[in-house]
Amino acid sequence: MTEKLLVLNDIRKNFGAIEALKGISFSIGKGEVVALLGDNGAGKSTLVKIISGGLQPTSGQMLFEGEEFEAKTPAEAKAAGIETVYQDLSLCTNVDVVANFFMGREITRKIAGIPFLDERAMEEITTKALTSAGTRIPSMRTKVEHLSGGQRQAIELNRFAHWGGKLLLLDEPFAALGVEQTRRGLDMIRHVASQGIGVVIITHIMQQAFQVADRIVVIRHGVVAGDVDRTKTSPDAVIEMITGQTLTGAGPVGKQ
């Protein structure tokens, strides 16, 4: 990848006596999709939380767009363009698609100094953004509670891209979705990445990682156990990295 979006340098995290991360180093390029794999308890969620401001690292350094970066809160990370999309945590299902797309960023027109919602302008922009991404939603005025999991995810991802997001973090985003919806979700991730957005996706399912990722990063016991180009590895090789029998030639190994 040409330009580095985020560089992680020897990130460590201790929870009391537990060393959850023991020095993680890798990087994510613009428009690159990185699949983060690893066994339960390997430290994937911890790492993603550190990037998105939910946790602070015990030591280590992050460079975001070439500058030193450490978010103290998720809001700070979000302001910088980094966001984790969690299922069910980022949409208000009791209002319609447009209201969700513009949540907290409503377009208003002032009448006598009072801001009024400009529904027509918001609907137009929402329709344009979602249809250009190939999302099929019957009406922008449908309440989100009536939409499928896949449609909800499409709203979240496109909203992120539309509002200038730069690095998208997904922690097991397809856990609740069916086969067809997962396929559409993966397409959507590629679509988001094609706009120059970096994506880190945590998944348990090897097949998904190989379908969507440019690079595969494996974490084991808090260290990078493999960092390989998707085209230069195989599911079997990755499984061996996850379980601990690193093959020769599988890629650089994180320093211990």
Partner 1 sequence: MTPRTRKSLESVLDNLVWFMLIVVLALFSALIPNYFQIGIFTNIIEASSVLGVMSIGLALVIIAGHMDLSVESVAALAAMAVGILFCSAGIGMGIKLSPQWLMIPASLLVACGIGALIGLFNGFLVVKLKMSAFIITLASFIWVRGIVLAVSGGRSAQDLDPAIRWFAIERVAGIPLSAWIAIACFVVFSVLMAKTPFGRHLVMIGGNETAAYRAGIRVTRNLIIAFVLAGAIAGLAGWLLAIRTSGATANLGVGLLFNAFAAVVIGGVSLKGGVGALPGVYAGVLLLSSINTAINLMGLPANYTQVIHGFLVLAAVLLDTFKQRLRQRLA
Ligand X SMILES: Nc1ncnc2c1ncn2[C@@H]1O[C@H](COP(=O)(O)OP(=O)(O)O)[C@@H](O)[C@H]1O
| Under 8 Å between Cβ of 96 and 123 | no
Which x/- pattern, by CB under 8 A, does the window 58-87 give for partner 1?
----------------xx--x---------
Q: Quick one: DSSP state of residue 107?
A: -
Take residue 150 and report the two structure tokens written for it. Answer: 């896949």
Residues 106-165 that bind Mg ion (CB under 5 A): none
**φ, ψ (nearest 5 deg) of residue 166:** -120, -35
| Among the listed residues 234, 238, 224, the one whose alpha carbon sits nearest the alpha carbon of residue 21 | 224
Amino acid at 147: L
Among 33, 34, 37, 42, binds ligand X (CB under 6 A): 42
Q: How many residues bind ligand X (CB under 6 A)?
A: 11
- Which tokens sit at 50? 């550190």
94 binds partner 1 (CB under 8 A): yes
Among 31, 38, 173, 251, binds ligand X (CB under 6 A): 38
Q: Which of 5, 29, 35, 45 binds ligand X (CB under 6 A)?
A: 45
Assess 168 for contact with ligand X (CB under 6 A): no
* 3-state helix vs strand vs coil in the chain, percent to 5: 35, 30, 40
Complex with partner 1: residue 155 or 216, whichever CB lies closer? 155
Site string for partner 1, 115-144 (x = CB under 8 A): xxx--------------------x---x--
State the virtual CA torsion across 182, 150, 107, 105 in degrees, nearest 10: -60
The one among 3, 41, 229, 255 contacting ligand X by CB under 6 A: 41
15 binds ligand X (CB under 6 A): yes
